[in-house]
Structure 1
Amino acid sequence: MSLAERYDRVVAATVRTVTDRRYLLRTGMSVAGGIAMWASFPPRNLWFFGIVSLALLCGALSEPGLRLRSGAWCGFAFGLAFYLPLLPWIGVYVGPLPWIALSVVLAGYTALFGLIAVVLMRFPARALWFALAWVSIEWARSSFPFGGFPWGRTGFGQIGSPLLSLAALGGVPLVSFAVAVIGAGIALLIADGYRDRSSLRSVRVLAAAGAAIIIAPIAAAATWPSVNAHNTSRDSITIAAIQGNVPRLGLDFNAQREAVLNNHINETRALIDAVHAGSVPRPDFILWPEDSSDIDPTINLDASQMLDSLARSAGVPIVIGTVLENQDPDTGNTHETNSMLVWDPNAGQPADATVGPGPGRYDKRIIQPFGEYLPWRSFFRLFSSYADMAGNFHPGSGPGVLKINSGGTWTTVGVSTCWEVAFDRSAEKSVRNGAQILAVPSNNATFGRTQMTYQQLAMSQVRAVEHGRTVVVAATSGVSAIVRPNGTVVSRTGIFEPGFLVARMPLHSDKTIATRLGAIPLYLAVIATIVGLLVVMVPRTRFNELITGRRRDRGARVDARGARDTDDNGSH
């Protein structure tokens, strides 16, 4: 066969595939599923669309005899339809290339999910395997490469959902699992019930799918009282969050450092005036956002004096966000850290401010690739002139908490700075190390008036439920908020508007089941997925035959072959 003939055959086969009705239906269902998943995320918060989304994707993947490449394509189409509308904030000031490139890479993960799901859904309890594979792929893209990209995990789209209470049992992975198993159960209930309406197998299928649909909501309902139990406490604290705003939008806001610092000073003075007037209660401490003082107050005398005066006037500690220059005592080289400092009204800057992480200083531990540092700098600078604008920050260490003394009473505050709130291990480590409340200082000014800040606030709400802690969010340009331990918002600011928030909130020292278990449920899901794949890849094991029924099928084929042979020999 000539090369031209082979080419014609490939083209003809491709055309037949693309025009095949089932192919178009699967692709349409996958795209619709991706769009539905996007609709479940803030600021829309249509959480039930998350279930609809995965029901559509499971329906596309549940067709009998579906090829692996078709499953991968369905996953890829779903991913593009989800990530492209979810992440345009990435390219708001740097152009569409990073946004589109990241969306394609993330869609590659959902393509891998589609392939894995087709393999594992050959087993019974298909909704369970679908959900295990979904959670495992969320773990993979939240971990690799460059530390992963957890944005868009299904559990973060369940604000307002009764399933959110499951976060107190197993964190974000369990919420994602519940959405996936319910969606898959609904899809299989419809699809298999239609295909096998008259068979005994349909009874088993319908029972399994029905169980998948009802178990997760029952578990969520059973969990809800225990979640609310974390909302009652004899200990409480009055906290304040400052949103100073930035002078103008764009990537050059850091060049406006003095103006940003002055904005937060002025808004804090407005808070102090309101306290003196009796219109708001006196806070026990004041939280500023990340980058609220990019002028390093440990070396800049003017900034230090202004903060000293402000803290004395407030009479309470102020937690400020700044960028510190750190010198390696061995090499003499310097590097930057994204830090939070407790500015005391009596002592000024913390004693450990110039030394390293300690009770009065927190250094951001999970730094953002392509923002705070640039991996493979020489490679990525070939694609965008903005590459060299990435920082050269180093990750911090330590327990992830600040110790704040207000009137002789000490409070342990866990910190997850901006990007860190998306990672399970950040808040978990802080709470394990004694955090009584959680603070999320953030700087979203570089993302303009996009959906990013609302998506990040949703993560803070999930963390509140997950660990049973009050969460206070302070953002330079919004949205700042104070969140109850049950995930509801007490108060919030507008976007790109200066303001302050004050509320008396409970302190907690107990730990939820999710905090105690940590990543164990997630790792169990990943291990189960891997074991399932290994069983399929080694088809002649007894376990594989027991689960898939292939042994029985092979025996039936042997009997049929023997019957044909006897017929041919005229024995019967």
Structure 2
Amino acid sequence: MSSGGTGRSGATSTRSRGSGAADRSRGRSAAGARGSRPPHREEALRPVPGAVAVLVGAAGGLAAVAAFPPYDLWFLLPLAIGALSATALTRTATATVLASFAWGLGFFVPLTHWAATYAGAMPWLALGVFQALFAVLFAVPARAVLVRRGLGPGSALVVAALWVAVETLRSHAPWGGLPWGASAFALADSPLLNLGPWIGTAGLALLCALLGLGVLRGVLALTGRSRRGLGGIAGLLPIAVSITVVAACLLVPYPPNPAPAQQSTLRVAGIQGNMDPIDPVALTMPEGVFENHLAMSHEVLRSEGTDLDLVVWPEDSTSWDPRDDPYREQAIVDLSGQADAPVMIGTQTPTEDGRRYNYSLVYAPDGQVVYQYAKRHPVPFGEYIPARSFFRAITDKVDMVSSDMIAGEEVGVTDVVGPPIGVLICFEIAYDNLVRDVVDDGAQMIVVQSNNALFGESHEAVQQVAEAKVLAVVSGRSVVHVSTVGESAIYGPEGRELARTGHWEQGAVVADVPLRTGITPAVAAGWWTPLIISALGLAGVAAALTRKDRAIAPPGRR
């Protein structure tokens, strides 16, 4: 009896446990049906296999290169950012790091090939690899968002804001950063540029990323990798929305930007004197640079007479400071007198301590130097070597820059021709904060003096001219971009090309350059636009890290 009682008791106990488990299971199902508990999202997205992610990353990086001049396939940039975001949809962080690094190498190594022209292969590759790390810096926190939240509108906004945060950081740090390859600079011939004066370069980067993420969401749905929300043919919706947004940009008006009351244009001649190719070993300016620019200037005078307000020579157009060479200085003064207009030249001036300034000087017809601007943002490793002793221990290539350039302190704005003119030198046109500075100081147009001869036949020159066009539109100011060997161009404040020369040819750009006094919303917002967008991205990452449910299961989960 005792034994039988024990058996019945055990059977009863087993039935009770089974019944309780079933009741709990039914309770969870009922609670889920009522929506009282958020369901886990392990099956929301199927992860991208690591090997596939690496291939997608490399292909995306190459697509990003094709978005920039001289290829100008700007519509590939959103797709490339979408591909980079896809590298975050892996089951492991290691796969994301490898795949995003492949994207960075595929983009930055070919994009910065111009650096190899004067620095050699190793410094060029080092630059490309360092820049590629920023792609990883984007993809890792993007993964924290996407594996937890999936790819809905909210997470897309956060990831796009992260893209802006990383691009802003890359453009300004370390040592002042390098904005080469910033999203906005691929849009010189895109309808999206119509939004430039409204939302600035940071806003354009945000829009490019959002478009790319929209296309990615559609692709995931169409390929069955998105298991909840949109699926199948409905995946065409986010793609259609992205295309519609691009088309709608054709209708965006330019913001009000009035001309000054007294004078609405300046007649400007930009002189591209050209030169022989630079010796890749000696890296010295060839003979004849000064004479070429002087001869081309007189040719322009023969056709224009004294109907000029300003003559602009490019950076390094006098080889050395004409104030230390009576012959060259007198030739410039005579030219200014014949043109009855100031002549702006570019030169470098050594200092007593062995360093140098990169100057823009303006000569008046009376022979006086009436304005002087020193380049505020020398290029690290190109015009000066930061932490020289440290980097010399790594490579003796640092000694190719034998004399460090000193940064100027004053914003470049001069009123020598009446209306204030902003002055920037070479790569400074790529820094939107420097462009804003001259506009904030009253510039009604901007002159950029450049020397692209060091970059040979590379794509650097045509990419820099595209930067000039984009920032003309964003800033609402005409830009006169003048180079020793090209490309030189003049763009109106709405981006209309007024004059242009080719690469490695002698010529000039001459136009009636529109003046403007209005401040675009992008310039008025200043640093606030990238800072607010970046803060949104970082806050979104922090919020995602607090979530326990996941859109992609962790390793070991299916």
Common fold: TM-score over 0.5: yes
Q: What is the CA–CA distance in structure 1 between the aligned matches of 2:197 and 2:282, rounded to whole Å?
A: 38
Residues 452-471 of structure 1: CA deviation (Å, up to 9, x unaligned): 00111111011111011111
The answer on 1:365 being equivalent to 2:390 is no
> Which residue in 1 is equivalent to 2:130?
105
Task: Provide the secondary structure at the position in 1 that maps to 2:179.
Answer: coil
For residue 534 of structure 1, what is the amino acid of its counterpart? A
Q: What is the CA–CA distance in structure 2 between the aligned matches of 1:225 and 1:282, rounded to whole Å?
A: 34
8 Å contact 2:259–2:517 — kept in the other structure? no
Task: Provide the secondary structure at the position in 2 that maps to 1:456.
Answer: helix
Instruction: Within 5 Å, give how 1:181-330 maps onto structure 2.
Output: 181-192=210-221, 194-195=223-224, 209=238, 213=242, 216-217=245-246, 220-221=249-250, 224-227=252-255, 230=257, 235-251=264-280, 255-256=284-285, 259-276=288-305, 282-326=307-351
> Which residue in 2 is equivalent to 1:58?
85
1:344 to 364, 367, 377: 364
Residues 80-138 of structure 1: CA deviation (Å, up to 9, x unaligned): 01112111110113321011111111111101211111112233423212211111111
Task: Provide the secondary structure at the position in 1 that maps to 2:429.
Answer: helix
Residues 368-426 of structure 1: CA deviation (Å, up to 9, x unaligned): 11121111212323444432131311111123212222xxxx02111221111111111
Residue 533 of structure 1: how far off its partner (Å): 2.6
> Which residue in 1 is equivalent to 2:407?
395
Residues 303-345 of structure 1: CA deviation (Å, up to 9, x unaligned): 2212111111111111111113456xxxxx5742111111101
The answer on 1:95 being equivalent to 2:128 is no
Task: Provide the secondary structure at the position in 1 that maps to 2:174.
Answer: coil
1:80 to 105, 111, 114: 105
1:443 to 444, 451, 472: 451
Residue 232 of structure 1: how far off its partner (Å): 7.3
1:270/1:342 CA distance change after superposition, 3 Å: same
> Which residue in 1 is equivalent to 2:13?
none
8 Å contact 1:246–1:253 — kept in the other structure? no
8 Å contact 1:68–1:119 — kept in the other structure? no
**Which piece of structure 1 moves more, 514-523 or 162-171?**
162-171
8 Å contact 2:277–2:456 — kept in the other structure? no
Segments of 5+ residues of structure 1 without an aligned counterpart are 1-19, 328-332, 351-359, 554-572
Residues 455-503 of structure 1: CA deviation (Å, up to 9, x unaligned): 1111101111101111111101111111122223222112111111111
Q: What is the CA–CA distance in structure 2 between the aligned matches of 1:374 and 1:197, rounded to whole Å?
A: 49
> Which residue in 2 is equivalent to 1:42?
69
> Which residue in 1 is equivalent to 2:168?
139
Residues 292-312 of structure 1: CA deviation (Å, up to 9, x unaligned): 123212233222212111111
Q: What is the CA–CA distance in structure 2 between the aligned matches of 1:127 and 1:165, rounded to whole Å?
A: 23
Q: Percent identity?
A: 31
Residue 259 of structure 1: how far off its partner (Å): 2.2
8 Å contact 2:436–2:523 — kept in the other structure? yes
Q: What is the CA–CA distance in structure 2 between the aligned matches of 1:450 and 1:288, rounded to whole Å?
A: 22
2:389 to 347, 362, 378: 378
8 Å contact 1:68–1:115 — kept in the other structure? yes
Segments of 5+ residues of structure 2 without an aligned counterpart are 1-46, 554-558
Q: What is the CA–CA distance in structure 1 between the aligned matches of 2:491 and 2:258, rounded to whole Å?
A: 11
1:363/1:62 CA distance change after superposition, 3 Å: same
Q: What is the CA–CA distance in structure 2 between the aligned matches of 1:62 and 1:207, rounded to whole Å?
A: 20
8 Å contact 2:48–2:89 — kept in the other structure? no
Q: With the length of structure 2 as denominator, give the TM-score of the two structures.
A: 0.83
Task: Provide the secondary structure at the position in 2 that maps to 1:290.
Answer: coil
1:59/1:252 CA distance change after superposition, 3 Å: closer
The answer on 1:519 being equivalent to 2:527 is yes
For residue 272 of structure 2, what is the amino acid of its counterpart? Q
8 Å contact 2:197–2:521 — kept in the other structure? yes
Task: Provide the secondary structure at the position in 1 that maps to 2:322.
Answer: coil
For residue 126 of structure 1, what is the amino acid of its counterpart? S
1:344/1:232 CA distance change after superposition, 3 Å: closer
8 Å contact 2:118–2:283 — kept in the other structure? no
8 Å contact 1:245–1:260 — kept in the other structure? yes
1:510/1:21 CA distance change after superposition, 3 Å: closer
Task: Provide the secondary structure at the position in 1 that maps to 2:189.
Answer: coil
For residue 152 of structure 1, what is the amino acid of its counterpart? G
For residue 164 of structure 1, what is the amino acid of its counterpart? L
8 Å contact 2:487–2:501 — kept in the other structure? yes
The answer on 1:491 being equivalent to 2:499 is yes
Task: Provide the secondary structure at the position in 2 that maps to 1:92.
Answer: helix
**Which piece of structure 1 moves more, 87-96 or 426-435?**
87-96
Residue 255 of structure 1: how far off its partner (Å): 4.1
Q: What is the CA–CA distance in structure 2 between the aligned matches of 1:154 and 1:50, rounded to whole Å?
A: 8
For residue 225 of structure 1, what is the amino acid of its counterpart? P
> Which residue in 1 is equivalent to 2:15?
none
Q: With the length of structure 1 as denominator, give the TM-score of the two structures.
A: 0.81
Instruction: Within 5 Å, give how 1:410-559 maps onto structure 2.
Output: 410-537=418-545, 539=546, 544=547
2:50 to 23, 35, 59: 23
Larger radius of gyration: 2
Q: What is the CA–CA distance in structure 1 between the aligned matches of 2:460 and 2:237, rounded to whole Å?
A: 38
Aligned alpha-carbon RMSD (Å)? 2.8
Q: What is the CA–CA distance in structure 2 between the aligned matches of 1:264 and 1:346, rounded to whole Å?
A: 21
